[in-house]
Every structure is written in structure tokens, then in C-alpha cells.
Amino acid sequence: MKISTLIIVTLVSFAFADIIHLQNGQEITNATVIEINDTDVKYKIGERQVIYIAKKVDVISILYPDGTKDEFEVSAITPQVITDSRDNKTYRTVKMGNLVWMAENLNYILPVSPLSGVNTRSTVSPSNCYNNKPENCKKYGRLYNWVDAMVACPKGWHLPNNAEWEALLDFAGGKSIAGRKLKAQNEWAGGGSGTDEYGFSALPGGFLSMPGGGSASARWYSASSNGGWWSASMRGEHVYRMSMVSGNSNVNSAIDYATSGLSSVRCVQD
């Protein structure tokens, strides 16, 4: 009887939350709108004390528990959607500065890996879903080794280099705060989600670390709390990877010595 009571209380409390509908197709559920002004919609999520901000031009409507609704003028800069002709998957895109980015992690299975002859530190894994679970590809996108990542983007798109990543981070206010502005609003663990100010919707897809560097076997790490994205840039035999961590506002750009491990891919338009 006590269990039934707890379930009812949970459902009722969720039913009394606001639902914010965004132009990029996302729904922010379990929200409490606390202020709507000329430019912003400010709200909280669940019991968190963090105040989130959505740009008013990015909001389509807010549905309140009593059935009433606020509707907003649709912006002319609604993110576009492209179709990958190789498998007919669709991806939202967003323009940030002078560059157009995919607003979702890539989820394409390469028919043939171009890995033969590549000098890597350890055994190479093909692209995969986090923890070998297909539902994670649907949620976070697919994870790729660096060589596959270099050829994974569809025609007209490519893996971004360091200069393109830097341009994105500068547009979002610099490395120290860009993570908070670029992260998706609902997927990061421990209250570490961001404001998704531009609709980039960075996701914590985790990564796969391959054997070597003290690890005897391949290990999956940190889905829901860590996101890592390959860069096309190299320094010597090593490559760069951008990363974000739940609870931190910064974006880290670091050399990754294991091109054979798996990380997420974001494509940028040619």
C-alpha cells in the first residue's frame, strides 16, 4: 500500500509541471516557469535550484498544468533539418557564427572501415553504440574511432578541425562557459545539464577506452556525465578531442593518444 501511495504522489507532482515546447523539436518537461520577459523564459526543472534560461525566440509554446497555454511567434531562424541520403536518417542543424553544425551526434554505420595500414596504439574498435546497446545510439548517437570519424560525415559535411571548434566556442562565449551554453537541457546527470542557448544540444555520449596506457582491456566510460567529440586536427601522431563533463561549464580541448578509442562525432558543413 505504501508503494502505491509513492507512485501516485510522483505522478501527480509530475502532472503539475509546465511543458516548454522549443522550435528545435525538444520538449522541456517537469519545468516550472518563473519569469517571462521581453527576451527570455526563465524556469527551473524538478527540485533543482538552478535557473535555466531559454531565448524567447526559441520557444513555440508553454503548456501549463491547468490546460492553458502561452504561444509565441515562430522565429525565422528555426533550425533546419537535413537528410543523410546514405541511410535516410535526419539531423537538425544550427548556424553558429559563420558555420552550420549538426545539432545532433552522428549515427551512421560505415559499411567498410578504412583502418587498414593505420598506425594506432592498440587494437582498434569499429564504431559502436555505447555499451553495445542499440538504444544508446538512438539516444546519444554512434561512437567512432578517429579514422572512421574522418570519413563518417555525409557528403557536403566534414569532421571539424580545431579552428572550427574554436570558432564555435568563441561564439558561445569562450571555453570557460561554452559548455553550459552548448549542453542539452535534460540529458546530463547530476544536475549538469546546460541551457542549450543556441540549440546545439551537446549530449553526454560517453566513450570507449581501448587497451593500453595502464588499461588491460577495453572499458566503457561515463555516458550521461561525459561527452567527447573528435577533431580532425593532429599534433604529430596524436589527435585532438573536445570534451564536456557534467557539472562543469567549460569545454576541454586535449590531445587524445588513443585514436582507436571511440568518441562522438559532430559534423560541420563544408
Domain check: are 204 and 222 in the same one?
A: yes
- pLDDT higher than threshold 50 for residue 119: no
* Stated length of the chain: 270
Long-range contacts, 169-177 (Cβ 8 Å, 24+): 169/251, 170/97, 171/96, 171/97, 171/198, 172/96, 172/197, 172/198, 172/200, 175/250, 175/251, 175/252, 175/253, 176/249, 176/250, 177/249, 177/250
How many domains does the chain contain in total?
2
The DSSP element (H or E) to which 168 belongs, if any, is helix 162-171
Contact present, 197 and 203 (Cβ < 8 Å)? no
Domain check: are 39 and 168 in the same one?
A: no
Domain check: are 22 and 127 in the same one?
A: no
Q: What is the pTM of this model?
A: 0.68
Residue range 56-83: average pLDDT?
80
Backbone phi, psi, residue 269, to 5°: -70, 145
Tens of pLDDT, residues 142-188: 999 998 999 999 999 999 999 999 999 999 999 999 999 999 998 89
Q: Residue 255's pLDDT is what?
A: 75
In a domain, 230, yes or no: yes
- pLDDT higher than threshold 50 for residue 20: yes
Domain check: are 47 and 103 in the same one?
A: no
Domain check: are 55 and 180 in the same one?
A: no
Q: Which domain holds residue 13?
A: 2-71
Q: How many CB atoms are closer than 10 A to CB 214?
A: 6
Q: Residue 192's pLDDT is what?
A: 87
In a domain, 179, yes or no: yes
- pLDDT higher than threshold 90 for residue 100: yes
Q: Residue 150's pLDDT is what?
A: 94
What rounded mean pLDDT belongs to the chain?
83
Domain check: are 127 and 85 in the same one?
A: yes
Pick the last residue of a domain from 71, 91, 109: 71
Q: What is the CA radius of gyration of the chain?
A: 20
CA-closest candidate to residue 114, choices 71, 166, 154, 149: 149
Domain check: are 98 and 49 in the same one?
A: no
Domain check: are 61 and 140 in the same one?
A: no
Q: Residue 113's pLDDT is what?
A: 55
Domain check: are 31 and 11 in the same one?
A: yes
Domain check: are 48 and 178 in the same one?
A: no
Domain check: are 215 and 172 in the same one?
A: yes
Domain check: are 24 and 89 in the same one?
A: no
Lowest mean pLDDT among 32-36, 74-78, 79-83, 84-88: 74-78
In a domain, 76, yes or no: no
Q: What is the CATH number of the domain that holds 48?
A: 2.30.30.100
In a domain, 226, yes or no: yes
Pick the last residue of a domain from 21, 50, 71: 71
Pick the last residue of a domain from 19, 40, 71: 71
Only one residue has cell 581501448, namely 210
- Which residues, at least 6 apart from 126, have a Cβ–Cβ distance to it below 8 Å? 110, 113, 145, 148
Question: CA 93 to CA 91: how far, in whole Å?
Answer: 6
